[in-house]
Chains A and B, each alone.
Chain A
Amino acid sequence: MSIKQTSMVAALLMACPALMFGAGTVKGKVTFTGTPVKQKPIDMSKEPSCAKQYPTPPTTQTIVTGEGDTLENVVVYISAGAPDETTAPTQAVTFEQKGCRYMPHVLAMRVNQELKVVNSDQTSHNIHPLAKVNREWNKSQPPGTPPLSEKFDKEEFISVKCNVHPWMRGYFAVLKTSHYDVSKDNGSFALPNLPPGKYTLTAWHEDYGTQTADVMIAGSETKNVNFAFKAKAF
């Protein structure tokens, strides 16, 4: 092994303590108890180019459930125990305006990570993240314009609306940690590559609020953590 190769391996090992001590994973499911409020169909008739993309009107996405009372769109992340990560990933995250809805409905990203906002519709949008900790802005995007590029420099959960289409709603979760996931349609999430340590996991839902759980990772093990939110009738 040449000196160059040895030093590269050493650098890699130093950069990833997880590799040295074994990496743990936290997996689990997000569910709800009770009866959630019924989601309402969205009337998009004023925007025919969007309305015609749906055979039946799409519903609001505040509560998206799956089989077995699972809950989608819950952000699960390490809120304590891991060091803040200051260097943002170079890869951008994409938030799409499509069919007069936001895709995905909940987008998690890192502090200072590039956010690309794409308009795939035949109509103008005006994206308006209602930031309170970060700087608040809104930007118009006529059809066919290139993606907008933005970033947020502080940790915050931000509600996003369109100033042109009142029914459009999405959320940005701007996080200081790289250990996060958004629950899938079966309610599952997974946080891999966790170095050994004691962590606090937080699960955030736009309507049901937050829940936390403590978890201890000793080595290359997989811990199971589940969250159950209480559904609100209204």
Chain B
Amino acid sequence: MASLPVHGNARNTDGDRGLRAWWSRSERKVVPYVFISPFYILFIVFSVGPLVYALYLSLHRWPGTGPMRHVGLGNYTYLAGDPVFLKSLWNTVYYAVGAFLFILPLALVLALLINSTLIRIKSLFRIGYFLPILTSTVAATIMFLLIFNNEFGLINQGLASLGIPALKWLDEELVKISVLAVVTWRYTGINVLYFLTGLQSIPPELYEAAQVDGAGTWAQFRYITLPQLRPIALFVGVVTMIGSFQLFAEPMLLANGGPNDASLTIANYLYRMGFTNAKLGYGSAIGWVLALIIFGLSFIQLYLFGAFRKED
């Protein structure tokens, strides 16, 4: 489609023929670079460039227009003592730890049950748990406005009908739990699928051999299932951590980051600084700190799970 067959065009001029001859010799050398170039052009323009520019901006004070003022590491030192940033950092860590404590064990238990011989109708659960991930974070969070509303939320209505006083799900004390509930609702099912993939890739011979040796259910789980799940657990762990540190829509829509910044994440604070308050330098510094945290934690997880160890 892009070029016609080279041979058999007797009407060509000499120069044209030379060009065609060159192309027929070089096409296979040049073409792969042409095919992959859109990615690298877009990557350089829209990722590498902004990454470097973010570092540059983070060393300046700039409201988005007019001249920039160089402040050295001023934004970073200010960040270290900014109570709202530290609060958002704490909240984000809270969400990440909560995701590890709620979502991953729940997903693992559900996957183990679905995978066990006890359960026959597997796909109902597999697919049922999976459906929430199809919703957008916006639609999902909106749904939960009806669940957690302090006055007419479904949970409080349910508690009231049992004669239990209402809890303020969106107030400072509980709002982080509510955010975690939305996150758990949306992401448990996909992690069930990840764990199921891992469970199904365990060679059945391992269990057969263990049974021959007289290993009980618990021993099989402890010494076969868990170690064999390590690669998938590493994947799930890294994905969960990276996702948790970039939470944005759930706290924003459920409680607007509040009350009193109690649900605010790092990403929410970055947005507030960069877009609402037009502190582009400060916002960029937050972005770089976030990147360093994510890189650091990914590295630690890979290290702990021995991904760097030479095996096999």
Binding partners A and B? no
Binding site for B on A (CB under 8 A): none
